[in-house]
Amino acid sequence: MTPSRLMMINILACLLLLLRVSSVTGRLIGGGGDDNQWVKTMSGVKIGKFQKIHVGQHGNFSTIQSAIDSVPNNNQNWVVIKIDQGTYREKVTIPYDKPYIILKGKAKRTTEVVWDDHETVAQSPTFTCLADNVIVKCITFRNSYNNPVNGNRRVPAAAAMVTGDKLYFYRVGFFGLQDTLWDDRGRHYFRKCTIQGAVDFIFGAGQSIYEACSISVLGNALAPNLPGFITAHGRTDPNDSSGFIFKGCNIFGSGSAYLGRPWRGYARVLFYRCFFSDVVEPTGWDAWGYVGNEHQLTFAEYECYGPGANTGSRVSWESNFSWDQVKQLTEMSFIDSADWLYTIPYQKF
């Protein structure tokens, strides 16, 4: 074999090796180093090119909703909608039949969707996600009827309603006053998000983990000495798997607020290793319309710290969890027993 032929064989072998590596990492070598063009599917094996849509002054669309509307019904491939910085005055809905959408703003503080509906809580959300398998990153949703705080009468006015399954929110802002985030149902993961409000501003029957989130209480928007409520969970059955789990979150703000009250009779909320400022009401929880049935409620805190974390004055019926019980609720398997979080392409865009 001649030296030139041997060199050619070695080059071909190296190219084949590189292609094998690319199939494992989800990146096509020789594609200009653009990881954004190549992602794994939900199976974690097949590699495919995903569609990109640009919203902005020089984009494909000038509104976010028109970009969503352009996605085919019953879509089965990830579609990235990149949104330029700016304030978008519109209501945005991802319908049931448009899954596998990624909404990606420039940053939580510079890309904002604003509307002010407030007639009913069902009609009010600025952002609604009905579809499964959706990722939202670096964007803020605001219901401006009561936020920023103004002279308008306080009414239920949601910034967002999320009811699809397998939803991931990363560095997303939700700003309102009453009923800010309607975490309706489904498995959801909120990481490094900001949720602001005063009354029941995280509510619904979702099965959700909130990790490293900022929970901002606008107690100064309420009447003097009137406390607010951070959560209002809607679990209706003791065998229901839903619950709100807060891990390593920061609870702060003005005025005061209870950690939660039950929207339905088997509400379940856990705060785990969270920082509590003195905004937290000393008694911690309120039974609301379920006085006499407190034994049905699961309201707990574990290894929280800060000025508001002293449990000496907490209600007597607060749940006293063992570490095994806490571990069961705080591990990712609480929302991700099928590993859907580990196969979505949130690191590839």
Q: CA-to-CA distance for 345 and 349, rounded, in angstroms?
A: 7
Residue 132 falls in the annotated catalytic set: no
- Cα 271 off chain centre by: 16
Q: CA-to-CA distance for 288 and 17, rounded, in angstroms?
A: 64
**Which one, of 336, 348, 347, 46, lies nearest residue 167 by Cα?**
336
Residue 342 neighbours by CB under 8 Å, 6+ apart: 44, 336
Residue-wise burial string across 146-156, b where 16 or more C-beta atoms lie within 10 A, e elsewhere: bbeeeeeebeb
Compute the C-alpha angle 333/183/43, nearest 5°: 40
Provide the greatest CA pair distance for the chain: 91
Q: Which residue is catalytic, options 179, 183, 184, 286?
A: 179
- Cα 175 off chain centre by: 13
Q: Which residue is catalytic, options 132, 165, 184, 200?
A: 200
Compute the C-alpha angle 63/181/263, nearest 5°: 150
Residue 286 falls in the annotated catalytic set: no
Q: CA-to-CA distance for 131 and 298, rounded, in angstroms?
A: 29
Distances in Å between the alpha carbon of 272 and those of 8, 119, 241, 243? 60, 35, 18, 13
Residue type, 255: G
Burial class (CB in 10 A: 0-12, 13-18, 19+), 134: buried
Could you tell me the two tokens for 42? 């939900």
3-state percent helix, strand, coil for the chain, nearest multiple of 5 = 15, 35, 50
Q: CA-to-CA distance for 217 and 231, rounded, in angstroms?
A: 11
Q: Would you name the residues annotated as active-site residues? A: 179, 200
